[in-house]
């Protein structure tokens, strides 16, 4: 595994700050290895955000409530977010259950969809996003 690059971190920061043009521009510049590193960084950030969001929560009730609220945001979210898969991926990040029967692409999809919502719900400012990214980068390093 390669070290996480500044460009990968910048791409994820752009996504989390809703700078979608910059996110697209930066991710399009990544080669295959760079994209694999970016996916690893997203996974690490998802793990960190889930851990932060549900640290003192009543599990699984808080996860079920969070996923329900995420799906209720708009019709597209309701259609896009599979509640059963999403709940299982979040619960697995918290050390509960198994996702061995869920395809990797579906797990990555959940992480990509839910990470920005987790960050939004925590009302992270620039410093909070920087801390999340720093922790994720450390976790994603070989």
Using a cut of 0.75, tell me whether the model's pTM lies above it.
yes
What is the reported pLDDT for 42?
Answer: 97
For residue 125, the tally of other CB atoms under 10 A from its CB is 9
- pLDDT value of residue 68: 96
When pLDDT is cut at 50, 70 and 90, the band that residue 3 belongs to is confident
pLDDT tens digits along 53-107: 999 999 999 999 999 999 999 899 999 999 999 999 999 999 999 999 999 999 9
- 1 in a domain, yes or no? no
For the chain, the domain total comes to: 1
Asked if residue 128 belongs to a domain, the reply is yes
At which residue do the structure tokens 């994820």 appear? Answer: 12
- The verdict on residue 130 lying in a domain is yes
Specify if 61 maps to a domain: yes
* Domain membership flag for residue 125: yes
| Vertex 99 angle, CA 139 and 121, to 5° | 60
Q: Over the stretch 13-46, which tens digit does the pLDDT of each residue have?
A: 999 999 999 999 999 999 999 999 999 999 999 9
The secondary structure of 45-85 as a DSSP string is HHHHHHHHHTTTS-TTHHHHHHHHHHHTT-HHHHHH--HHH
- Domain range spanning residue 32? 6-140
Tell me whether residue 52 is in a domain. Answer: yes
| pLDDT for residue 41 | 97
């Amino acid at each position: 595994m390669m070290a996480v690059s500044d460009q990968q971190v910048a791409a994820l920061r752009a996504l989390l700050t809703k700078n979608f043009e910059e996110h697209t521009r930066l991710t399009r510049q990544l080669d295959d290895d760079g994209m694999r590193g970016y996916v690893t960084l997203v996974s690490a950030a998802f793990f960190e955000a889930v851990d932060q969001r549900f640290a003192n929560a009543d599990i699984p009730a808080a996860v079920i409530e969070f996923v329900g609220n995420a799906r209720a945001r708009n019709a597209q979210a309701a259609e896009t977010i599979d509640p059963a898969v999403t709940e299982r991926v979040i619960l697995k990040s918290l050390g509960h259950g198994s996702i061995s029967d869920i395809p990797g692409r579906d797990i990555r999809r959940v992480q990509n969809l839910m990470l920005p919502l987790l960050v939004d719900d925590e009302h992270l400012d620039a410093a909070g996003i920087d801390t999340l990214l720093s922790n994720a980068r450390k976790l994603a390093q070989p």
